[in-house]
Amino acid sequence: MSQPPSYPPQKQSLADYERQAAALRSYTKEALHTLILYQLLWIPGLIANIAYLKAANNDRKVSGINPQGRGCLQALLIVHIGVPFLVCFLGIGLPFLRGLIFGSR
Mind listing the pLDDT tens digit for each residue in 10-44? 777 777 777 777 777 889 999 999 999 999 999 99
- In sequence order, what are the residues at sequence separation of 6 or more whose Cβ sits closer than 8 angstroms to the Cβ of residue 26? 67, 68, 69
- On the CB side of 97, how many CA atoms lie within 13 Å of its CA? 6
More confident site: 65 or 31: 31
In a domain? residue 74 = yes
Structural domain including 78 reads 16-102
Q: How many residues does the chain have?
A: 105
**Overall number of domains in the chain:** 1
Residue 10, domain member (yes or no): no
Q: How high is the mean pLDDT of the chain?
A: 86
Whether 25 is in a domain gets the answer yes
For residues 90 and 47, the answer to whether their CB atoms sit within 8 Å is no
| pLDDT given for residue 8 in this prediction | 66
The predicted pLDDT at position 36 comes to: 96
Residue 3 lies in a domain: no
pLDDT band at 58 (very low <50, low <70, confident <90, very high): very high
